[in-house]
Amino acid sequence: MNRPITTLFMLMSVDGKISTGSTDELDMDRDFPKIPGVREGLHQYYEIEQTTDLWSFNTGRVQNKMGVNEKEMPPKTPVSFVLLDNHHLTGHGVRYFCALSKQAVVITSNPAHPAFRVDADNLHIIYRERPSLGAALEQLKKECGCERLTVQSGGTVNGLFLREKLLDYVDIVVAPVLIGGRDTPTLIDGRSLVSTTELSELGPLKLLDCSVLRDSYLRLRYEVIK
Protein backbone atom coordinates (compact mmCIF):
# COMPACT_ATOMS: atom_id res chain seq x y z
CA MET A 1 0.00 0.00 0.00
CA ASN A 2 1.40 3.42 -0.98
CA ARG A 3 -0.26 5.23 1.94
CA PRO A 4 -0.51 4.56 5.70
CA ILE A 5 -3.00 2.03 7.01
CA THR A 6 -5.65 4.22 8.60
CA THR A 7 -7.92 3.62 11.57
CA LEU A 8 -10.77 5.96 12.46
CA PHE A 9 -10.83 6.02 16.28
CA MET A 10 -13.57 8.07 17.92
CA LEU A 11 -15.77 8.43 20.97
CA MET A 12 -19.43 8.82 20.07
CA SER A 13 -22.91 8.73 21.58
CA VAL A 14 -25.35 5.92 20.85
CA ASP A 15 -26.90 8.13 18.14
CA GLY A 16 -23.55 8.75 16.47
CA LYS A 17 -22.73 12.23 17.75
CA ILE A 18 -19.10 13.22 18.32
CA SER A 19 -19.89 16.46 20.15
CA THR A 20 -22.46 17.48 22.75
CA GLY A 21 -23.81 20.29 20.58
CA SER A 22 -23.38 22.50 17.54
CA THR A 23 -21.13 25.19 19.06
CA ASP A 24 -17.45 25.11 20.01
CA GLU A 25 -18.40 25.73 23.65
CA LEU A 26 -19.93 22.25 23.74
CA ASP A 27 -17.45 19.38 23.65
CA MET A 28 -17.41 15.77 24.84
CA ASP A 29 -14.05 16.06 26.62
CA ARG A 30 -15.35 18.99 28.64
CA ASP A 31 -18.97 17.93 29.08
CA PHE A 32 -19.02 14.15 29.57
CA PRO A 33 -17.16 14.34 32.93
CA LYS A 34 -20.10 16.39 34.24
CA ILE A 35 -22.84 13.90 33.31
CA PRO A 36 -23.79 11.22 35.87
CA GLY A 37 -24.08 7.83 34.21
CA VAL A 38 -21.59 8.84 31.51
CA ARG A 39 -18.59 10.15 33.42
CA GLU A 40 -18.02 6.93 35.37
CA GLY A 41 -16.86 4.93 32.35
CA LEU A 42 -15.25 7.70 30.32
CA HIS A 43 -11.73 6.82 31.47
CA GLN A 44 -11.91 3.64 29.39
CA TYR A 45 -11.90 5.66 26.18
CA TYR A 46 -8.74 7.51 27.19
CA GLU A 47 -7.09 4.27 28.26
CA ILE A 48 -7.80 2.74 24.85
CA GLU A 49 -6.60 5.93 23.16
CA GLN A 50 -3.18 5.41 24.76
CA THR A 51 -2.83 2.13 22.83
CA THR A 52 -3.54 3.55 19.36
CA ASP A 53 -0.98 4.19 16.59
CA LEU A 54 1.99 6.46 17.24
CA TRP A 55 0.91 8.63 14.31
CA SER A 56 -2.24 10.67 15.02
CA PHE A 57 -4.23 12.67 12.45
CA ASN A 58 -6.34 15.66 13.44
CA THR A 59 -7.36 19.08 12.16
CA GLY A 60 -6.37 22.61 13.03
CA ARG A 61 -10.00 23.48 13.63
CA VAL A 62 -10.43 20.81 16.30
CA GLN A 63 -7.13 21.70 17.94
CA ASN A 64 -7.96 25.41 17.92
CA LYS A 65 -11.19 24.47 19.69
CA MET A 66 -9.09 22.58 22.26
CA GLY A 67 -7.03 25.71 22.92
CA VAL A 68 -3.60 24.80 21.51
CA ASN A 69 -3.10 28.34 20.18
CA GLU A 70 -2.98 29.58 23.79
CA LYS A 71 -1.69 26.62 25.82
CA GLU A 72 1.74 26.51 27.43
CA MET A 73 4.32 24.34 25.70
CA PRO A 74 3.76 20.66 26.60
CA PRO A 75 6.26 17.92 27.45
CA LYS A 76 7.53 15.76 24.60
CA THR A 77 5.64 12.54 23.76
CA PRO A 78 6.54 9.61 21.45
CA VAL A 79 3.49 10.38 19.27
CA SER A 80 3.79 12.08 15.87
CA PHE A 81 0.92 14.41 14.96
CA VAL A 82 -0.43 15.16 11.49
CA LEU A 83 -2.61 18.28 11.25
CA LEU A 84 -4.79 19.22 8.31
CA ASP A 85 -5.08 22.99 8.46
CA ASN A 86 -5.34 26.14 6.37
CA HIS A 87 -6.06 28.93 8.84
CA HIS A 88 -7.02 27.72 12.33
CA LEU A 89 -3.53 27.21 13.79
CA THR A 90 -1.34 30.15 14.77
CA GLY A 91 2.44 30.05 14.96
CA HIS A 92 2.09 29.29 18.67
CA GLY A 93 -0.21 26.38 17.88
CA VAL A 94 2.29 24.93 15.41
CA ARG A 95 5.14 25.33 17.91
CA TYR A 96 2.94 23.62 20.53
CA PHE A 97 2.76 20.50 18.36
CA CYS A 98 6.45 20.67 17.55
CA ALA A 99 7.11 20.57 21.32
CA LEU A 100 4.59 17.76 21.83
CA SER A 101 5.46 15.54 18.87
CA LYS A 102 8.21 13.22 17.76
CA GLN A 103 7.38 14.51 14.28
CA ALA A 104 4.89 17.29 13.55
CA VAL A 105 3.36 17.41 10.08
CA VAL A 106 1.12 20.17 8.75
CA ILE A 107 -0.88 19.45 5.59
CA THR A 108 -2.05 22.69 3.98
CA SER A 109 -3.04 24.38 0.74
CA ASN A 110 -2.36 27.82 2.23
CA PRO A 111 1.01 29.19 0.99
CA ALA A 112 0.97 31.75 3.83
CA HIS A 113 0.30 29.25 6.62
CA PRO A 114 2.07 30.19 9.92
CA ALA A 115 3.90 26.84 9.83
CA PHE A 116 6.16 28.21 7.10
CA ARG A 117 7.51 30.73 9.61
CA VAL A 118 8.22 28.19 12.36
CA ASP A 119 11.78 26.93 12.70
CA ALA A 120 11.75 23.44 14.19
CA ASP A 121 13.81 20.36 13.32
CA ASN A 122 10.85 18.02 13.67
CA LEU A 123 8.37 20.07 11.58
CA HIS A 124 7.44 18.85 8.11
CA ILE A 125 5.02 20.72 5.85
CA ILE A 126 3.07 19.00 3.08
CA TYR A 127 1.89 21.78 0.81
CA ARG A 128 -0.53 21.05 -2.01
CA GLU A 129 -2.01 23.85 -4.08
CA ARG A 130 -4.98 21.65 -4.92
CA PRO A 131 -6.04 19.70 -1.82
CA SER A 132 -5.89 15.94 -2.18
CA LEU A 133 -6.08 13.94 1.02
CA GLY A 134 -5.03 10.73 -0.70
CA ALA A 135 -1.96 12.32 -2.30
CA ALA A 136 -1.02 13.95 1.01
CA LEU A 137 -1.16 10.56 2.76
CA GLU A 138 1.05 9.03 0.08
CA GLN A 139 3.55 11.85 0.64
CA LEU A 140 3.28 11.33 4.41
CA LYS A 141 4.31 7.70 4.06
CA LYS A 142 7.06 8.33 1.52
CA GLU A 143 8.68 11.35 3.18
CA CYS A 144 7.98 10.75 6.87
CA GLY A 145 7.83 6.96 7.10
CA CYS A 146 4.29 6.84 8.48
CA GLU A 147 3.03 3.25 8.17
CA ARG A 148 -0.08 3.38 10.37
CA LEU A 149 -2.24 6.39 11.17
CA THR A 150 -5.04 6.91 13.71
CA VAL A 151 -7.63 9.44 12.53
CA GLN A 152 -9.39 11.53 15.20
CA SER A 153 -10.72 14.47 13.23
CA GLY A 154 -14.13 16.09 12.85
CA GLY A 155 -17.09 14.63 11.01
CA THR A 156 -16.51 16.55 7.78
CA VAL A 157 -12.90 15.42 7.38
CA ASN A 158 -13.90 11.90 8.44
CA GLY A 159 -16.34 12.09 5.52
CA LEU A 160 -13.48 12.93 3.16
CA PHE A 161 -11.58 9.84 4.33
CA LEU A 162 -14.70 7.75 3.63
CA ARG A 163 -15.51 9.25 0.22
CA GLU A 164 -11.88 8.96 -0.95
CA LYS A 165 -11.79 5.34 0.32
CA LEU A 166 -8.91 6.06 2.70
CA LEU A 167 -10.26 4.24 5.77
CA ASP A 168 -9.08 0.71 6.52
CA TYR A 169 -10.43 0.20 10.04
CA VAL A 170 -13.00 1.84 12.30
CA ASP A 171 -12.60 1.63 16.09
CA ILE A 172 -15.46 3.20 18.03
CA VAL A 173 -16.11 3.64 21.74
CA VAL A 174 -19.84 4.19 22.32
CA ALA A 175 -20.86 6.20 25.37
CA PRO A 176 -24.24 5.43 27.03
CA VAL A 177 -25.96 8.70 26.09
CA LEU A 178 -28.30 10.12 23.47
CA ILE A 179 -27.52 13.66 22.30
CA GLY A 180 -29.67 14.36 19.23
CA GLY A 181 -29.84 17.50 17.13
CA ARG A 182 -29.45 17.57 13.36
CA ASP A 183 -26.79 20.30 13.57
CA THR A 184 -24.62 18.39 16.06
CA PRO A 185 -21.57 16.81 14.37
CA THR A 186 -21.74 13.09 13.70
CA LEU A 187 -19.09 10.47 13.09
CA ILE A 188 -19.28 11.01 9.32
CA ASP A 189 -20.50 14.36 8.04
CA GLY A 190 -20.15 16.17 4.73
CA ARG A 191 -22.44 15.87 1.76
CA SER A 192 -25.21 13.29 1.77
CA LEU A 193 -25.83 10.78 -0.97
CA VAL A 194 -28.51 12.07 -3.32
CA SER A 195 -28.99 9.12 -5.69
CA THR A 196 -28.68 5.35 -5.78
CA THR A 197 -25.80 5.66 -8.26
CA GLU A 198 -23.67 6.98 -5.39
CA LEU A 199 -24.12 3.89 -3.25
CA SER A 200 -20.68 2.70 -4.36
CA GLU A 201 -19.24 5.44 -2.14
CA LEU A 202 -20.49 3.71 0.99
CA GLY A 203 -18.06 1.89 3.23
CA PRO A 204 -19.45 -1.53 4.19
CA LEU A 205 -17.89 -2.89 7.38
CA LYS A 206 -16.89 -6.29 8.74
CA LEU A 207 -17.19 -6.58 12.50
CA LEU A 208 -13.91 -7.72 14.05
CA ASP A 209 -14.74 -7.33 17.73
CA CYS A 210 -17.53 -6.14 20.01
CA SER A 211 -16.50 -5.57 23.60
CA VAL A 212 -18.84 -4.71 26.45
CA LEU A 213 -16.95 -2.29 28.68
CA ARG A 214 -17.83 -1.19 32.18
CA ASP A 215 -20.57 1.32 32.96
CA SER A 216 -22.59 0.50 29.81
CA TYR A 217 -19.86 1.54 27.35
CA LEU A 218 -19.17 -0.48 24.19
CA ARG A 219 -16.16 -0.83 21.91
CA LEU A 220 -16.82 -1.76 18.29
CA ARG A 221 -14.00 -2.61 15.89
CA TYR A 222 -14.57 -2.98 12.13
CA GLU A 223 -12.59 -3.57 8.98
CA VAL A 224 -13.66 -1.48 6.00
CA ILE A 225 -14.49 -3.78 3.07
CA LYS A 226 -12.82 -2.56 -0.12
The CATH number of whichever domain residue 217 belongs to comes to 3.40.430.10
Report the pLDDT value the prediction gives residue 200, as an integer from 0 to 100.
80
Tell whether the torsion through CA atoms of 206, 178, 8 and 209 is positive or negative.
negative
Give the residue from 114, 154, 170, 118 showing the smallest Cα distance to 24. 154
Tell me the C-alpha distance between 57 and 154, whole Å. Answer: 10
Tell me the C-alpha distance between 184 and 56, whole Å. Answer: 24
Kindly give, in sequence order, each residue whose CB lies less than 8 Å from that of residue 44, ignoring residues fewer than 6 positions away.
173, 213, 214, 215, 217, 219
Given a cut of 90, is residue 62 above it in pLDDT?
yes
Predicted structure pTM score: 0.95
Report the pLDDT value the prediction gives residue 131, as an integer from 0 to 100.
79
Give the residue from 81, 77, 66 showing the smallest Cα distance to 124. 81
Report the pLDDT value the prediction gives residue 203, as an integer from 0 to 100.
82
Domain count for the chain: 1
66 has which bridge partners?
A: none
pLDDT digits (tens, 9 = 90+) for 70-108: 999 999 999 999 999 999 999 999 999 999 999 999 999
Q: Terminus-to-terminus CA distance in the chain, angstroms?
A: 13
Domain that holds residue 116: 5-224
